[in-house]
């Protein structure tokens, strides 16, 4: 008799525990982590190797298993989309990733999406997603400057923060976000500005906020068009037009500009000196590129500030576009997206003002 009642009591307790676990899980948001590689998935030979290591070694399930604290934040599952260092990602990879993000965002049982990514081109992916994925749900791109095997590795906390933000209702409608070094950055504004410190990601317009111990502290919101307000939709984009970059510097020759201009590209971003200045000896070469039907976009190699139209060069006269505050690599992303719809330079300039 006693054994039966003990068994019944055990079964009742087990059922209660199971019910509360299910209730707890149902109460938590559902977050998907799309892994692409990078240092956050990197591994070094020893704990002192904070800069010498192999990127893209650790799988997404191992990243999640290494962070049990996530279970208190959200129901998390992972997908390994790629396993590469981000400098090696291609435009096709970008399309594949963005289409996967868009498909998941449409699922009613998904509340937020995190993308783990190498830091080298993280800013380009984050900008591309904010331009093309139509969702108000939080999408957070995250990386790390040190591999998980290193002393004071930053990846675990960056990832914990990313999942927290992706699980937060107050992160909705703010465009694609980046969580690095306790800050919540706008995917449009942020760039990797220091190549060997954990405080690597900066925006000249400042972060949108901070995340400390799992709580978001917001201080501003984006004003440029993004996600739901974007006229570009990844679900209608099948290919990206080729756009390349030529840098300006003392002693520059027209070799790169001439070669790129004849390579079949649709636009050439010029990363000029100062306020997007162009050496006088290569102005005719850029004019020829334009005359051959390639859009010319003046950006600057100077990280901060923005290029003024008709200041350093008569853009109206040359029919050139200015990249506003976008660095060359981001100007290229916007040019590719914009030219899926138009090659009209007046329309392109509007787009560079608005996004």
Q: Which residues contribute to the site for ligand DAS (CB under 6 A)? A: 38-39, 55, 85-87, 118-120, 143
Which residue has 């939709």 as its token pair?
233
For ligand DAS, the closer of residues 85 and 245 by Cβ is: 85
CB of 146 to ligand DAS, least distance (A): 9
CB of 39 to ligand DAS, least distance (A): 3
Asked about 39 being catalytic, the answer comes back as yes
SS3 55: coil
Residue nearest ligand DAS, CB atom distance? 118
Sheet architecture: strand order including 321-322:
243-247, 267-272, 295-300, 321-322
Q: Is 233 annotated as a binding residue?
A: no
CB of 140 to ligand DAS, least distance (A): 16
Asked about 119 being catalytic, the answer comes back as yes
- Distances from the Cα of 3 to the Cαs of 15, 16, 250, in angstroms? 18, 20, 88
For ligand DAS, the closer of residues 75 and 144 by Cβ is: 144
For ligand DAS, the closer of residues 119 and 185 by Cβ is: 119
User: Which of 39, 116, 198, 227 is labelled catalytic?
Assistant: 39
3-state helix, strand, coil in the chain (%, to 5): 40, 20, 45
Which residue has 């409608």 as its token pair?
173
CB of 63 to ligand DAS, least distance (A): 13
Task: Enter the tokens of residue 8.
Answer: 């019944």
User: What are the φ and ψ backbone dihedral angles of 169, each rounded to 5 degrees?
Assistant: -65, -35
SS3 245: strand
For ligand DAS, the closer of residues 96 and 275 by Cβ is: 96
User: Which of 116, 119, 121, 132 is labelled catalytic?
Assistant: 119
User: What are the φ and ψ backbone dihedral angles of 333, each rounded to 5 degrees?
Assistant: -60, -50
- Rounded Cα distance, 347 and 41, in Å: 40
Task: Enter the tokens of residue 340.
Answer: 């899926």
Q: Is 119 annotated as a binding residue?
A: yes
Residue 307 is given by DSSP the state P
Count CA atoms closer than 13 A to 71's CA, side-chain side. Answer: 7
For ligand DAS, the closer of residues 98 and 338 by Cβ is: 98
Q: Is 109 annotated as a binding residue?
A: no
Going by C-alpha positions, the residue among 288, 296, 313 that lies closest to residue 348 is 296
- Rounded Cα distance, 307 and 354, in Å: 15
CB of 161 to ligand DAS, least distance (A): 16
State the binding site: 86, 119-120
Question: Which residues make up each annotated binding site for substrate?
Answer: 86, 119-120
Active site residues: 39, 119
């Amino acid at each position: 008799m006693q054994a039966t009642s003990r068994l019944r009591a055990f079964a009742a307790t087990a059922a209660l525990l199971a019910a509360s676990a299910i209730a707890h899980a149902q109460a938590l948001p559902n977050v998907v982590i799309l892994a692409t590689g990078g240092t956050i998935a990197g591994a070094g030979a020893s704990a002192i190797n904070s800069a010498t290591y192999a990127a893209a070694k650790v799988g997404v399930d191992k990243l999640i298993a290494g962070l049990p604290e996530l279970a208190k934040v959200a129901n998390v599952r992972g997908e390994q989309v790629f396993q590469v260092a981000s400098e090696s990602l291609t435009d096709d990879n970008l399309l594949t990733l963005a289409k996967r993000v868009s498909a998941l965002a449409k699922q009613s049982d998904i509340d937020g999406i995190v993308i783990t990514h190498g830091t080298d081109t993280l800013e380009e992916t984050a900008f591309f997603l904010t331009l093309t994925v139509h969702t108000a749900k939080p999408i957070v791109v995250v990386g790390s400057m040190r591999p998980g095997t290193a002393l004071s590795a930053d990846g675990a906390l960056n990832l914990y923060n990313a999942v927290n933000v992706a699980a937060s209702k107050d992160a909705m409608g703010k465009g694609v976000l980046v969580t690095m070094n306790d800050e919540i950055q706008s995917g449009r504004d942020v760039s990797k500005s220091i190549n060997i410190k954990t405080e690597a990601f900066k925006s000249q317009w400042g972060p949108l906020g901070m995340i400390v111990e799992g709580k978001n502290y917001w201080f501003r919101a984006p004003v440029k068009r993004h996600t739901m307000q974007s006229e570009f939709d990844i679900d209608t984009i099948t290919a990206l037009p080729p756009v390349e970059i030529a840098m300006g510097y003392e002693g520059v020759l027209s070799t790169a500009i001439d070669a790129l201009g004849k390579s079949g590209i649709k636009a050439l971003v010029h990363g000029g000196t100062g306020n997007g200045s162009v050496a006088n000896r290569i102005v005719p070469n850029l004019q020829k590129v334009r005359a051959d039907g390639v859009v010319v976009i003046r950006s600057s190699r100077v990280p901060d500030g923005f290029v003024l139209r008709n200041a350093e060069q008569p853009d109206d006269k040359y029919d050139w576009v200015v990249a506003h505050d976008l660095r060359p690599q981001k100007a290229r992303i916007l040019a590719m997206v914009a030219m899926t719809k138009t090659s009209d330079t007046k329309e392109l300039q509007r787009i560079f003002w608005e996004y």
